[in-house]
Structure 1
Amino acid sequence: MTETIAPAAPTKKAGAFFTETVTFVQHWTPELFSFRTTRDPSLRFQSGQFLMVGLEVDGKPLVRAYSVASPAWHDELEFYSIKVQDGPLTSRLQKIKVGDQVLVGRKPTGTLVLDGLKPGKRLYMLGTGTGLAPWLSLARDPEVYDRFDQVIVTHTVRGVGDLNYREMFEHDLAQDEILSEVIGGKLTYYPTVTREPFKTQGRITTLIESGKLFEDLGLPPLDPAVDRLMLCGGPSVLADLKALLEARGYEEGSLAKPGDYVLERAFVET
């Protein structure tokens, strides 16, 4: 079910938050939805960063960290969320409609930024579930393609119906009048499913360790000299990926000290 654009309302500024108007809602499954809002012209962020997003409840802000799914150049903000029926925030947020208002934090932050990585040849963006969100931003950012010769976005989910944004990666970007020229042939999308039959099955850690990921892509195994990675997903998969990479000689990076990979620990679960 999709709700479409409503007339944009002026952004209201209050304390640590902007009050933005919902312009679009997409319910993908009973557990997943996306929404877009207006964006205050003064808000600046880097693709891959997150903002605090939520609602005013009983006169107080109820917010959680959400990676921005829209690229830094876009005039709206997009977010990709799970639905937790008894969750303090998402039990309410999943009911928003076009024209409703949400709170958006003024201060972007996060470690999934290009400046946290050393220069390299290939960039792997490994995401599980709604951990795809920062890749939706970065994959549409021209700077990514200036810095890397190849960009691989992986999305691991439980069921085929959870491969939201698949159409964007497999068709829409190639047909986009501007982005198609910027991206060229540099972007590869690699979806995997863990609990249903699909052309590619299994956890991303298993696919890396077995070598199937690289066999399918026609690429060599991970090499810290040329391959850079960004990781976003649940705590358990991040811990497994971190151990896997560091066993291969990878060093975690930050803005203070760029490295071979970066990961995002802020992950909405409520």
Structure 2
Amino acid sequence: MADWLTGQVVENYQWHPDLFSLRVMAPRFEFTAGQFVRLGLTLDEQRVQRAYSLCNAPDDAVLDFLVTRVPQGKLSTALAELKAGDSVALSQPATGFFTLQEVPDGDSLWLLATGTGIGPYLSMLATSEPWQRYKRIVLVHAVRFAADLAYQSLINSWREKYPQQFHYQPIVSRENVPGVLRGRIPQLIKSGDLQRACQTDLNPRSQVMICGNPDMIRETRKLLDELGLPKNLRRKPGNVTVEQYW
């Protein structure tokens, strides 16, 4: 049974009315980049909880969670209304196996995300491990609208620091945005448009992590398997590591 810590909100940053970053101070605890905890609030005399990935580096003092306000969602609506100084419960210990420790070495590391699925990648990229292990790192973030492309300043800092090693590729599905791909990840891989835009091949020396929408994960896994990139398992290392985000 999980233990619980009490954290204090230091900022509730609104990217837009339905997307926000909840930043929390809490007693320090260890976690591996890519893991998650549960956030909980007591609502109507009952604790309501849900898993959220930690977006911050493991040594950061402030914990960072990217949250989508879900229509009719009891917890996400309540989290969106929290202000600096409010309390929120965090489960312990952090958990999950969607970490770089579970990913084999390779030439390139593809980080594919939809929506808030970008969260664990932000934590990973804030550590030294991916930059030391992979010659090429590609972060792909697929969203519905350009306003959903959060953390641009942070991502741009990696582009400036690692101009030859790092490529960021935003994808928007419901509007045309200059310089941004339009569509869905599986179709863009199948057509080759994603690989061309990223100037990086998907081949047996590629490692691919996928996090986000279940339909995207299922379709992308099937497509990558057809391209000769099987799922990565502890008993049988492969090329594709998956986090079922909801």
| TM-score where L is the length of structure 2 | 0.92
The one of 8, 13, 22 equivalent to 1:35 is: 22
Q: Is the 8 A contact 1:120 1:228 kept in 2?
A: yes
Letter in 2 for 1:89: L
Residues 1:26 and 2:6 are matched in the alignment: no
Residues 1:240 and 2:219 are matched in the alignment: yes
Match of 1:45 in 2: 31
- 2: CA distance, partners of 1:50 / 1:229: 20
Task: Give aligned-pair identity as a percent.
Answer: 31
- 2: CA distance, partners of 1:28 / 1:147: 32
Match of 2:229 in 1: 250
The one of 125, 137, 153 equivalent to 1:151 is: 137
Match of 1:63 in 2: 49
- State the SS of the aligned residue for 2:74: coil
CA drift of 1:219 comes to 2.1
CA drift of 1:253 comes to 2.3
- 2: CA distance, partners of 1:22 / 1:168: 21
- 1: CA distance, partners of 2:232 / 2:200: 24
Q: Deviation string for 1:39-91 (max 9, x for gaps)?
A: 322x1111111111121224442111111111112112100010024112112
Match of 2:200 in 1: 219
CA drift of 1:255 comes to 5.1
CA drift of 1:256 comes to 5.8
Q: Is the 8 A contact 1:54 1:93 kept in 2?
A: no
Letter in 2 for 1:169: I
CA drift of 1:209 comes to 0.8
Structural mapping, 1:120-131, within 5 Å: 120-131=106-117
Letter in 2 for 1:28: W
Q: Is the 8 A contact 2:159 2:166 kept in 1?
A: no
Structural mapping, 1:1-270, within 5 Å: 16-41=3-28, 43-170=29-156, 172-173=157-158, 180=161, 183=162, 185-198=164-177, 199=179, 200-220=181-201, 222-224=202-204, 226-254=205-233, 258-267=237-246
- 2: CA distance, partners of 1:120 / 1:212: 22
Size of the alignment, in residue pairs?
244
CA RMSD of superposed structures (Å): 1.9
- State the SS of the aligned residue for 2:111: strand
- 2: CA distance, partners of 1:166 / 1:173: 10
Q: Is the 8 A contact 2:214 2:245 kept in 1?
A: no
Q: CA, structure 1 residues 211+174, in 2 after alignment: closer, same or farther (shift >3 Å)?
A: closer
Q: CA, structure 1 residues 78+255, in 2 after alignment: closer, same or farther (shift >3 Å)?
A: farther
Q: Deviation string for 1:80-112 (max 9, x for gaps)?
A: 010024112112111010111111111222232
- 2: CA distance, partners of 1:24 / 1:257: 43
Letter in 2 for 1:51: V
Letter in 1 for 2:188: L
- Asked which structure has the greater RCO (Cα within 8 Å, sep 6+), the reply is 1
CA drift of 1:162 comes to 1.0
Name stretches of at least 5 consecutive residues in structure 1 with no aligned partner. Answer: 1-14
Q: Deviation string for 1:136-193 (max 9, x for gaps)?
A: 11111111111111111010011111111123212x3456xxxx3xx46322111011
Letter in 2 for 1:20: G
- State the SS of the aligned residue for 1:89: helix
Q: Is the 8 A contact 1:115 1:258 kept in 2?
A: no
- 1: CA distance, partners of 2:4 / 2:184: 37
